[in-house]
Amino acid sequence: MKAIKRLGAAAVMSCLLLLAGCWDKVEIEDRLFVLAIGVDSATEAEQKISEDRYTLSFVAPVVDQIIEGEGPTFHTYKTVENNLITSLTQLLERFSKKQFFGHTRAIFFGEDIMKSDKLLKEVLDGVSRYHELHNSMYAYIVPGRAEEVFEVKPMYDKLLAPYIAGITENSNYTSKAMRLSLLDMTIMLENQQGGLVIPKLVPGEKEVRLNGAGVLKGYKLIGYLGDKETSVYNWLMNKAKGGAISIEYNNTPTVFRHFTFNRKIRLAKVEEGKIYLNYEMETEGSIEEYKMGWKILDNVLLEEISREVEKRIEGESEKLIEKFQKQFKADLIGVKDYLSKYQPKLYKTIEKDYEKFFTDSIVVEVTANVKIRRVGLIK
Amino acid sequence: MIRNNDIVSPYQIAMITIMTVISVEVFSIAADTADILGTDGWLVIVILGIINIFTAMVIVRLNSIFPGKTIAEYSQIIIGTVPGKVLTSFFAIYLIIVIAYVTRVFTEVVKMFLLFRTPTEVIMLSLILVSTYIVRGGVECVARINELIFPILFIPFTIVMLFGLPNMDFSNLRPILQTPPGKVLASIPRMIFSFGGIELALYYIGFMKEPKKAYKSLIISVLFILLFFVMVIVFCIAAFGAKSTTKAIWPLVMYIRGISLPGLFIERLDGVILSLWVLTVFTTIVTVFFTASYSISKVAGTREQKQYVLPLVIIIYYLALQPGSLAELYEWGNAIFPYAVSAFMYVVPVMLLIIAGLRKLEVKQNEGN
C-alpha cells in the first residue's frame, strides 16, 4: 500500500515536469525590434526571379550602440520577395534574431507602390491581417523609393523611427504637418473607396522633412498637395490644431498664430439639383509678429487684421476645394462624410454616381471667423 | 439534494448572470451588429435587452413557484418524470455545446494574439481542466468565483476602454435611427444569442433561500449587460466607423490594440486586457459546466454532480476540436445558437410557466429541504 502511494506521488510529481514549459518564450536578447518598415516595388536589378514584387526594408536599433559606442545606432535589413509575409520569414532565414513588430512606429510606402492599385491592396491586406503589426503606427508616402529614408542619418537623434514619429506628433503645433496612422489610412481607404490623402516624407541627407501630401484615388496616386495646401487640407478636414498664418498687412508681414481651429459644415440650400454647403471655420489666436514701433494693440486695427486673415483662409480653402473638384475629381474634403452622416435622406438620392455629382453639383462656400485675442508682450 | 451550505445570495445571482452572458461574443458583437444595421447596430441590443428583462421576470416567477428547486427538478414535477428528464438532457447537451464553442472561440483569440506557438490542445485543456476544479467544488464555489472575478475584470477594463477616447469620433455614429423599423425587427433573431446565458438562472435561482429576491438582481444584471454591450459597440463604431468595424473579425481586440497610453508608460495594452479576458471566459465555462454536470446528475438520479465533471471534459474537448477552421466554427455557431438559445431562454420557461399555471402547481415552502 505504501509503495503504491509513493508511486502515485511520484507520478503526480512527474506531471510537473511534463506540464511545465512555454512554447512562446523568446528571450529579449533574441528579439529584433523592428521600428519602421519601408515598402517598395522591386526594381528589375533587384529581382532574383521575375515574381519578386516587393523590396522591404526594416530598421532596427542596435541596442548596445545606443547608450555608448561609435558604431551605427541602427541597422537596415532588406529583402526582395513576392509578398509581405515571406519577406518577414526571409529575415529569419538570413539573420539570427527573431524580428518583433509590436513596437513598429512607422511604415513608408514608396511612390511606385502607391502608383499601382494591385500592389497597394496586396500590401495593405498583408499589413492589416498580420497580428503582430499594430495599426497605430504612422503611415507616409515617400517620393522616390522608401528605402531612401533609411539612409538618412539623423543629425540630433540617435534613432530614425522615433525621430520621424516625433515630427509627426508636432502636428499639434503646426498645421503643415499631417498625422495619419495606418488604422486611419485603412479606414479612409475603405470609406472613400480608395481615396486617401497621406503625408509625404522627403528624405534628405541628415534629416527628413514632412512636406505636403500624396493624393490617392481608386488606390492609385494621382498627385501631390504642396506644403501650404496640406495645411489648408487640415483646415478643411477639421484636423488642424495649432499653426501660423502669415499675411501682408500695410506692406508688413504679419503672423497670426492659432492654437485651435474648428471647422463646421452646414447645408445652406438645395437648389436646382445643386447642393450648397457652407464650411464655417473658427479660429482663435494671437498676433506674433508685426513691425517695431508700430502699435498694434488697437481694436479697430485688430479687427482689420482679422478680416485679412479670414480672407486668406477663405481664399486658400476655396482654391483647394476647386483643385479637388476639378483636378483630382475626388471627394477627400469631407463632403460625402458630412452628407451621409447628417443628411442621410439627401445623400441617398445622390449616392449613385456620386463622383460626378461632387465635381458638378456641389458648391462649397467657406466662411472664416478669426478672433485675435492677444498680441504678445509689447503693444 | 441540495446541501445546506450550497446557498446563493441575490448579489451572487447577479454576478453569475453578468459573468455568464458576457463571454467570447463581446469580441465580435460590434462587427455583427454593424454588419446587420450599420451605425444603428446598438439599437438591436437595446431592444433585445428590454425583451430579456421580461425573460428574466418569467424565469424568476417560474422559480419562485418551486423554491429550493432547480429546473432539472421542477420540470419533472410540471411535465412528468420522463419528459422532464428528456428536457433536462437536451438542456445538458446544449450546455455542453456552449462550453465547447466558448472554449474554441477563446482558444482562437488567444492563439492569434497571445500564444502563437502553443498548441491549441494545450490552451483548451488547461482552460477546461482548471474549470473542473471549481465545478467539483459545487455551487458555492461557482458563485464565489463569479463574485470574486467581477471587480477584477470590469474595473480595469472600463478604465482601459476610456483611454481609447482620443481615437474616437462620435460623428461616426451618425446617421442615427435611419434604418427602417422592419429591418431592425428582422435583425433581432440574428443577435438573440448575444444574451444567451440568462437561462442559467433557471438553475441558480434554485439555490437561493428566497427566490423572489432574484427579480431585482436579474433585472439589474440584464441592464448592466445591455449597457456594457452598447458601450462596446458604440466605442468600436466611434473609433473605426461602421464600414471598417464590419471588416474586422474581433473589433474589440482591434480597439484595444489601437490604444496607446500617453507618455508611453505601457505601450501595448492588448496583452494585459486579453489576459484579463481569460477570466470572463473562465467564469462562463465554470457556470455553464456546473449546470451541465448538475443536469446530468438529476437525469441519472444521483445525489452528487462531482463524478460527471471529469468524463465531460473528454466530450467537451472532442467537440471543441471538431470545427476545422474559424470560419467553420462561426458557421456552426450561427447555425446552432439562435435556435437553441431562443428555445431554452424563451420557449422552455414560458411553456413551463403556462403548464404550471394550468395545473395550479404550488410547492409548500418546507417541502424538499
Per-residue pLDDT of chain A (379 residues; tens, 9 = 90+): 788 889 988 888 887 777 667 777 888 888 888 888 888 888 877 777 777 778 888 888 877 777 776 777 788 888 888 888 888 888 888 888 888 888 888 899 988 888 888 888 888 888 888 888 888 888 999 988 888 888 888 888 888 888 888 888 888 888 888 888 888 898 888 888 888 899 998 888 888 888 889 999 888 889 898 888 888 998 888 888 888 888 888 888 888 888 888 988 888 888 888 888 899 999 998 888 888 888 888 888 888 888 988 998 999 999 999 888 888 888 888 888 888 888 888 888 888 888 888 888 888 889 999 888 888 888 8
B264 C-beta neighbours (distance < 10 Å), count:
9
The answer for residues whose C-beta is within 8 angstroms of residue B222's C-beta and 6 or more apart is: B17, B49, B52, B53, B56, B195, B198
pLDDT of residue B54: 92
Cα–Cα dist B292/B305, whole Å: 9
The C-alpha cell at A151 is 539612409
- Model confidence at B362, pLDDT cuts 50, 70, 90, reads low
A353: left (phi over 0), alpha (psi -120 to 50) or beta: left
Find the residue in A nearest to B164 (Cα).
A136
The answer to whether residue B369 scores a pLDDT higher than 80 is: no
8 Å CB contact of A135 and B112: no
Would you call A189 helix, strand, or coil by DSSP?
helix
The answer to whether residue B93 scores a pLDDT higher than 90 is: yes
The residue with cell 507616409 is: A140
pLDDT of residue B221: 93
Radius of gyration of chain A (CA): 27
Reference B240, options B167, B144, B304, B324; nearest CA is: B167
Contact A43/B at CB under 8 A: no
The answer for residues whose C-beta is within 8 angstroms of residue A344's C-beta and 6 or more apart is: B174, B175, B178
Q: What is the pLDDT of residues A149-189, one digit of tens each?
A: 888 888 888 888 888 888 888 888 888 888 888 888 988 88
Q: Is the dihedral of CA A167, A168, A169, A175 positive or negative?
A: positive
Cα–Cα dist B208/A294, whole Å: 84
Q: Kindly tell me the burial class for residue A23, based on how many C-beta atoms sit within 10 Å of its own C-beta (0-12, 13-18, 19 or more).
A: exposed
The answer to whether residue B263 scores a pLDDT higher than 80 is: no
The answer for residues whose C-beta is within 8 angstroms of residue B6's C-beta and 6 or more apart is: B138, B139, B140, B207
Contact A205/B at CB under 8 A: no
The answer to whether residue B130 scores a pLDDT higher than 70 is: yes
Q: What is the pLDDT of residues B156-167, one digit of tens each?
A: 888 888 888 887
Report domain extents, chain B.
10-358
Q: What's phi and psi for A75, nearest 5 deg? A: -115, 150
Residues from chain A that touch B243, judged by Cβ atoms under 8 A, are 187, 190-191
B140 C-beta neighbours (distance < 10 Å), count:
15
Q: Name the minimum distance, in Å, from the CA of A84 to any CA of chain B.
A: 18
Residues from chain A that touch B178, judged by Cβ atoms under 8 A, are 344-345
- Please name the CATH architecture into which domain B10-358 falls: Up-down Bundle (1.20)
Q: Is the dihedral of CA A19, A23, A29, A33 positive or negative?
A: negative
Which of B114, B115, B244 has its CB closest to that of A187?
B244
Which of A22, A24, A190 has its CB closest to that of B247?
A190
Reference A180, options A194, A200, A204; nearest CA is: A200
Separation of first and last alpha carbons in chain A: 101
The residue with cell 504637418 is: A177
Amino acid, single-letter form, for residue B74: Y
Angle CA A176–A182–A185, to nearest 5: 70
Q: What is the pLDDT of residues B278-336, one digit of tens each?
A: 888 999 999 999 999 999 999 988 888 888 889 999 999 999 998 888 889 988 888 88
**Domains of chain A, earliest start first:** 27-225 (no CATH), 226-379 (3.30.300.210)
8 Å CB contact of B247 and A131: no
Q: Give the ipTM.
A: 0.84
Residues from chain A that touch B112, judged by Cβ atoms under 8 A, are 131
8 Å CB contact of A135 and B240: no
What value does the mean pLDDT take over residues B57-72?
Answer: 88
The answer to whether residue B121 scores a pLDDT higher than 70 is: yes
DSSP character string of A252-293: EEEEEEEEEEEEEEEEEEEETTEEEEEEEEEEEEEEEE--TT
Reference B293, options B107, B79, B70; nearest CA is: B70
| B367 vs A70, residue with greater confidence | A70
Interface A:B, Cβ pairs < 8 A: 54
8 Å CB contact of B244 and A103: no
Contact A25/B at CB under 8 A: no
